[in-house]
Structure 1
């Protein structure tokens, strides 16, 4: 399946089409997580699963090029029952499977709903990509973009559609800032300039409630989805 997508910077994501399943029930909310290699996407997904699993029926789809490393990590960490975690091997640049030909991911999320459902939430994690990574609106309803301070405090200033248009920008690994020379204040100012009123969360998963603000953002999207 190939869905139309923007060739320039996309607009901010809104809810994608086809919110109903074929049987007329409302499908799960789908949230995509993208970001560069090593930014902490999988760790963030794992932390979200731990924070939400007691109150939210959720599942995860991971994307890797030739392996299932991210799914294997989540399975080892036992963040969800094995049947709620599935992997897509993209065989090419990760953005192709989340933005261009999304058929493999669509099949994965639909299979999860058929086999495990009913689900409230499906997290779709992209393989490591660059600042141009965005999700098709035909695949996800909202996008989180994860960067980390070790990648340089100039990343927010560089922009790119991942940074500028994602529904939530997460600046991860803030505990490393003193060791890599990153200025968190500068990153906050640059992110504000690039994103205007779109939200930004600074996060360290080494703190007790590290993923708390992101988890609360997800809960708010679930409330909106349920009331729509």
Structure 2
């Protein structure tokens, strides 16, 4: 079973990425479970439920768990991931063996990371419209994640975000680790995202060839 942790600032597109990945993995015949973390509500879990369970019937309802952390979102994925580890155990008890579990963190700053006990592979999501300074700011989330996804590139012209600057800064900060620029709304860059992700998972032995 592959555990993929997805984190990033509020509004960056983590839930949209979760939904996209769930569809793509399901197309490949993989059985997917989803866990969402939020501080005060189950809003993200409800959105996933409406989209993937009710409308598109991508996953059954027992494959989705929403966690309300009630405190710092970092703690539940890094310092004390016990809530999420129990949620994974419960998913397996209800759903049987899963191939992929997608774990969405609550809104995070650039220093947030997943505990290696919780995630085998991590994806950090940035929002282009938040400014082109973010990749250069560094921080553990940006520099150490296995894959950096820069989302909403379709908005770059409207917020004067320089995508070339973001690419160069990401290359420097991440020291060769992959970065992909996408729009989860228009679909631009998503094929490249899946190619990088699937190859990475094969290379580290988390997915068969």
TM-score relative to the length of structure 1: 0.84
Decide whether the 8 Å contact of 1:47 with 1:211 is kept in 2: no
Q: Distance in 2 between matches of 1:194 and 1:156?
A: 7
**2:165 paired with 1:186:** yes
Q: For residues 2-53 of structure 1, give each alpha carbon's deviation from its aligned partner in whole angstroms, at most 9, with x where no partner exists.
A: xxxxxxxxxxxxxxxxxxxxxxxxxx11010000011000011011112221
Tell me, what secondary structure is at the counterpart of 2:78?
helix
TM-fit CA distance, 1:219: 2.7
1:131-142 to structure 2, matched below 5 A, reads: 131-142=110-121
Q: Distance in 2 between matches of 1:154 and 1:123?
A: 28
**2:116 paired with 1:143:** no
**2:2 paired with 1:29:** yes
Tell me, what secondary structure is at the counterpart of 2:67?
strand
TM-fit CA distance, 1:226: 4.2
Q: Which residue of 2 aligns with 1:22?
A: none
Q: Which of 212, 215, 221 pairs up with 2:191? A: 212
Q: Which residue of 2 aligns with 1:225?
A: 206
Decide whether the 8 Å contact of 2:129 with 2:155 is kept in 1: yes
Q: Distance in 1 between matches of 2:79 and 2:47?
A: 26
**What is the root-mean-square deviation in Å for CA atoms of aligned residues?**
1.6
Q: Which residue of 1 aligns with 2:46?
A: 72
**2:25 paired with 1:52:** yes
TM-fit CA distance, 1:210: 4.7
The list of structure 1 runs, each at least 4 consecutive aligned residues, that deviate by more than 6 angstroms after superposition, is: none
Decide whether the 8 Å contact of 1:60 with 1:123 is kept in 2: yes
Runs of at least 5 residues in structure 2 that lack an aligned partner in the other structure: 53-57
Q: For residues 26-81 of structure 1, give each alpha carbon's deviation from its aligned partner in whole angstroms, at most 9, with x where no partner exists.
A: xx110100000110000110111122213211111000011111110101112422
Q: For residues 93-116 of structure 1, give each alpha carbon's deviation from its aligned partner in whole angstroms, at most 9, with x where no partner exists.
A: 110100011100000011112221
Q: Which residue of 1 aligns with 2:11?
A: 38
Decide whether the 8 Å contact of 1:97 with 1:104 is kept in 2: yes
TM-fit CA distance, 1:206: 2.2
Q: Which residue of 2 aligns with 1:103?
A: 82
Q: Which residue of 1 aligns with 2:55?
A: none
